[in-house]
Amino acid sequence: MRLRCRTRWLALDQPVVMGVLNVTPDSFSDGGRHNSVEAALEHARAMVAAGAAIVDVGGESTRPGAVIPSIAEELDRVVPVVERIARELDAVISIDTSRPEVVAAGCAAGAHLINDIRGFRNPATLAAAAAADAAVCIMHMQGEPDSMQLAPHYEDVVGEVEHYLHARVRDAVAAGIAADAILVDPGFGFGKTQAHNVALFRQLERLTAGLPPLLVGVSRKSMVGHLTGRPVAERLAGSVALAALAAARGARVVRAHDVAETWDAVRVGAAVRTAQGEA
């Protein structure tokens, strides 16, 4: 199993870690820590050394109530960082964006993968990714970041997320995205209650059965806070536990802030999954 990322391939026969690099002043857990090019590069270097196969650069905070930056602001945050990482590090570079302008400029700067929390609802964003021959990660989200947690409702959260992802994958292929260049993400915490998150996690293997490789992102999220009672700064153990469970249930990419610990966890989870398959 491999993911085609423009000019390179990412092996997914074993799960890999996507390291989070927020270059924003207001992200929920690390806003402002990496919003200079040098600070961002040093953090990216540390994540790659710790085992990250992908570095995910985000210039827009998607926490509820966050201020949406202008296109110019997002470009100014993201493009210089992508250029430096592409020049100095050996890693797949992802951009966490929903804007076609950022897709085009980011790929021109060296990005390989577009991670869109809005699931490429904007056809222009999907067209820009196809034009750049980029890989894509399609996420499910009910609503928009500023209102998604007000009253999320599903009749069947697993079935609805599964149906949505299948439909968006078909749209991506029709737009020119190669079938072997697609990841999907059920979108934990994006327009979902705790009960929805837990239901999705319990049935991850249903989502891995008929869809492209699955990305799971739960690092430091409110899901972990609800389960442990811990504030954001104290959610490492809970995040790592879910990372291991995700790998054991078939996730191929785990998105995380704490790369070294998560890399250990996904290897343990993958080993358990393999042992179960051999039993």
- Kindly list the catalytic residues: 221, 255
User: Is residue 163 in some structural domain?
Assistant: yes
Strands (E), 140-256: 182-185, 215-217, 253-256
> Residues 170-180: what's their mean pLDDT?
97
The pLDDT of residue 62: 73
The pLDDT of residue 184: 98
Residue 145 pLDDT level (bands cut at 50, 70, 90): low
User: Is residue 1 in some structural domain?
Assistant: no
User: Is residue 7 in some structural domain?
Assistant: no
User: Is residue 5 in some structural domain?
Assistant: no
CATH number, domain at 266? 3.20.20.20
User: Is residue 146 in some structural domain?
Assistant: yes
Q: Could you tell me the residue range of the domain that residue 205 belongs to?
A: 12-278
The pLDDT of residue 70: 93
Residue 67 pLDDT level (bands cut at 50, 70, 90): confident
User: Is residue 95 in some structural domain?
Assistant: yes
The pLDDT of residue 160: 95
Q: For 2-16, 138-152, 204-218, which range has the lowest pLDDT when averaged over its residues?
A: 138-152
User: Is residue 198 in some structural domain?
Assistant: yes
pLDDT at 28 over 60: no
The pLDDT of residue 279: 41
Name the domain count of the chain: 1
| Distance separating alpha carbons of residues 165 and 153, to the nearest angstrom | 17
Residue 1 pLDDT level (bands cut at 50, 70, 90): confident
> Residues 15-32: what's their mean pLDDT?
78
Residue pair 89/49 in contact (Cβ under 8 Å)? The answer is no
Would strands 215-217 and 8-11 be described as parallel, antiparallel, or unpaired?
unpaired
Report which of residues 35 and 187 the model is more confident about: 187
The pLDDT of residue 34: 60
Give the torsion sign (CA, 253, 254, 258, 264): negative
| Distance separating alpha carbons of residues 152 and 149, to the nearest angstrom | 6
Q: What does pLDDT average to over the chain?
A: 92
User: Is residue 4 in some structural domain?
Assistant: no
pLDDT at 154 over 50: yes
The pLDDT of residue 33: 62
Which residue has 């270097």 as its token pair?
45
Please list, in sequence order, all residues whose beta carbon lies within 8 angstroms of the beta carbon of residue 85, skipping any fewer than 6 positions away. 40, 41, 44, 55, 57, 91, 93, 110
